A and B are shown apart, each in its own frame.
Chain A
Amino acid sequence: MKFGILVNEGPYQHQASDTAYLFCKAVLAQGHEIFRVFFYHDGVNNASRLTEPPQDDRNIVARWSKLAEEHGVDLVVCVAAALRRGIKDENLAPGFRISGLGQLVEAGIQADRLVTFGD
């Protein structure tokens, strides 16, 4: 089964991004496919490679990048929401790409399920 994921909150502020990540890992572990993870609203902040959490904390951004690297998960950041919040290609973490809202709608059409994580 193909899953689409929508992440609407930024890292560290709200649990939404952690839950979404752990959900994605479980999706893959069960042999399902992730069509796309789309980051919207403050969720775009998950893509900033400038984040530097303390050593004893989880690295949320790096975790997403690793998911993209190891499983080829498509991580898409909404361009309009990203520009509003200062996320651009020059500070984008590996594995993420910036694109339009059409990518979210496409995920809704193509995926069998779309799950929203937010506040």
Chain B
Amino acid sequence: MLHIVNKSPFSSQALDSCVQVAPGGDLLLIEDGVYAASSGTVADNFMRDIMKRFRVFALGPDLEARGLADRLIDGITPVDYAGFVDLVARNKTCQSWL
């Protein structure tokens, strides 16, 4: 299953709730959710922990818009909108953690 998170980990519990509830699967960070994909933050270790159970992706255009493209945590895969569509297509269901 694909989990989509669009909130910054510094202002919302969405990512935390998502990874505590979901057993694993694909996790896509979009919009303000991409702040969790940035290295060197206080959420860095949390994110690396998440990556042990989830395949983590981040929407490239959202990273670039926020000036984060060169700070992506190693192992997180940037995707474009076409990649977003592929992720939805190859998972039976998706859930947006609004």
Contact = CB atoms under 8 A, between A and B. Distances in A.
Interface of A: 1, 3, 8, 15-16, 19, 22-23, 25-27, 29-30, 32, 113-119
B88 A29 contact: no
| Closest A-B pairs by Cβ, 6 of them | A26-B81, A116-B96, A118-B98, A26-B85, A15-B31, A26-B82
Interface string B67-98: 00000000000001110111011000110101
Contacts of A8: 98
Given A1-B89, A3-B88, A19-B30, A30 B82 contact: yes
Given A3-B88, A15-B31, A115-B88, A25 B81 contact: yes
A15 B81 CA distance: 14
A22 B81 contact: yes
A79 B37 CA distance: 38
A8 B88 CA distance: 18
6 contacts: A3-B88, A19-B59, A22-B81, A113-B94, A116-B96, A119-B98
A32 B85 contact: yes
Contact of B96 (A3, A15, A117): A117
A27 B94 CA distance: 15
B96 A115 contact: yes
Nearest to B65: A15
Contact of A118 (B32, B86, B96): B96
A19 B96 contact: no
B96 A23 contact: no
Given A15-B31, A19-B30, A27 B85 contact: yes
Contact of B84 (A15, A26, A118): A26
A19 B98 CA distance: 14
Interface in B25-79: 30-32, 59, 61
